[in-house]
A and B are shown apart, each in its own frame.
Chain A
Amino acid sequence: MIRLLNCRPATRRQEPLVQHLKWLVVLAVVACPDLAVAQEIGDGGQPPSAPRQPPEQRVRAAFPDSAQVDLQLPEPIGTTDVEYFAWISGADAKSAGIVRDWAAMMSSIGSEWRSELLEKLKQPASDYVALLEVNQNFGERANRLKQLVTWRDRLVDELFAQERRYLESLLSSSSVDSAEAETVVEQVMMVRRAEAFPADNAYAPHLAANILRLLHLSATDPGTSPEASATIRRLALDNAPRVCEQRRIVFDAIAKCSYRGNEALQRAIDSGSPTVGAMNGVFRPIALGSARVAATTQELVALARAELSPEVANKLDQGVLRLTYGALAIDVFEIDAIVKVIDHLLPDQDRETCATVIVESARQRAALREQLLRSFDLQRSRFVERGLVRDQIANDQFRRSFLGYVKAAKIAAEQTIGKIAAIARANSKWDEAEFERAQQEWRSTARERLRAMSITGATSPILSYSQLEAIAQEALEQ
């Protein structure tokens, strides 16, 4: 375990000394790397000989403000968002150009406004974490959080108002017709408000795959014709009000769930009711709202697919999956790399057969993955609906399906590799050692992908880290 001392960061006056000390220390670490490593790894969980502060205090004392309660603050507009805002504004070329300028300005000046305004929340958000150490009363915590969220709402409104005024002034100074300007401003700010907040992967994962942005990517893909591009834009614009409203409702519920959840816990304690499940009324709307967003996303993906080439449609599908499920959506046993090693050894007459086998194998793994994701989605949604309560039976069931998925996908991939290798072995240039190395690499990549699932917490609402590790080990050792 990492040990920390209760120290304060070096002040500006100390810098020269620290600079010298830094080099000395770097030299010491380079010379004796084992010292640092030994300290980091720990001593089997035993506390050090010096008296210890409670861990929370110790960590926060060493790194002030490093822990804060999450207040769902808006992200700044980025430079990569410029084209997107021009596109989703629905404006003609002239007004779209102004929106582009606005978005570019917001990525610099808007970002500064954001920092200035929201900086005010940093200390109280950090103080709240300190409060948790000393105050066990959920009612008092709820009051403090409610004050913070109300303050946050005011500051966020102020930020959006500033952004809006800037857009209005740009349009007005460019002599854009006032009615048109108003339409553009309403559209842009509706979208901005609906997607400024980071999606919560545990409470409402379906908000991560923002269908409006994904449609923009599809419409601007080089593989999309101008006609299809215009249709996709129309689809996005027609559905933007619905998409934005659904997202706004969920974000709003998430921003308030912190204090509402604490209020619910306090009510349960006061009335002698069980605290487990007491927050279901707070979280159910979030789960249902997230499901509604998911359904709309699927509907729009289906409509877009009809306009897109299979390649671009596939990118759209993959985008939704990757954003919604993170590491869990990755094809753990993808065989492209190992096939590349064998590919040049395949006889021409067998290439088509091999290509079919590879495609079929990928389809088989995708089907297995889809089944798993569906089951995961259901269990995760139920976890949120219950008010962040886990269920042992659901855990057991999902653990079994996950193990089944990993084993089946691995077997399917291994069989495909075996079939192709058997054909390539006839070639006189076949190198068994090289093939063995490629197989090792493939297994190692699969292990890393499974590790990414645990390390990012992709399954943490249902499976624990150790359960996932055990599954990976059992499946990979077979």
Chain B
Amino acid sequence: MVPISTVILATLSFAVPQSGPSLLCLQEFKTWCCHQVASEWLIVDCGGEECRGDTSANLVVHYDRTYGSPGFAQAQWQLQEDGSRCTYNRVECIDGKCVILPEKITWYCHRISLSGACK
């Protein structure tokens, strides 16, 4: 059975109008955007390496083995000041060596409201 809170969040995500957020909502969007990018995307980019998602840190996922420097690394990311999008470079690992990829991926955040407060 799907938890009721999941239903609420999923429904809200799509019921909110697609126009941009009001200024009051930007802080919320900022937090969500980078949290989402970090927690969802960067974990995938570990490429089979052992990796540990530090969700308590909110924004950044740490890798145990990357760039040939154990215990040190993090993907590149930048948040636009208006909170509308995050841009970051993926990290991929080949034979235990990880590289920051040259192309930037932009994640657009402005369409979504999680709490339903932004309309």
Contacts and interface: CB of A to CB of B under 8 A. Distances in A.
Interface of A: 1-5, 7-10, 18-19, 21-22, 25-26, 28-29, 35-36, 38-40, 42, 45, 48, 50, 54-56, 58-59, 62-63, 65-70, 128-129, 132-133, 136, 141, 145, 200-202, 257-262, 265, 269, 274-276, 278-279, 282-283, 326, 388-390, 392, 395, 454-457, 460-461, 464-466, 469
- The 5 A-B residue pairs with the shortest CB-CB distance, nearest first, are A261-B102, A465-B60, A258-B103, A22-B15, A35-B5
Nearest to B110: A66
A276 B68 contact: yes
A22 B77 CA distance: 34
B53 A201 contact: no
Contacts of A465: 57, 59-60, 74
Contact of A29 (B30, B55, B103, B116): B116
Interface in B62-118: 62, 67-69, 72-74, 76-79, 81, 87, 89-90, 92, 94, 97-109, 111-112, 114-116
Given A22-B15, A202-B76, A464-B74, 10 more contacts: A2-B9, A39-B3, A39-B8, A42-B55, A55-B44, A56-B41, A69-B104, A326-B81, A456-B78, A466-B57
Interface in B9-62: 9-16, 30, 32, 34-36, 39-41, 43-44, 53-55, 57, 59-60, 62
Interface of B: 2-6, 8-16, 30, 32, 34-36, 39-41, 43-44, 53-55, 57, 59-60, 62, 67-69, 72-74, 76-79, 81, 87, 89-90, 92, 94, 97-109, 111-112, 114-116
B14 to A, nearest CB: 5
A18 B15 contact: yes
A209 B30 CA distance: 23
A36 B44 contact: no
Contacts of B43: 55
B36 A28 contact: no
B62 A145 contact: no
Contacts of B54: 466
A326 B55 CA distance: 25
A40 B58 CA distance: 11
A447 B116 CA distance: 28
A265 B16 CA distance: 42
A275 B9 contact: no
Contacts of A70: 87, 103-106
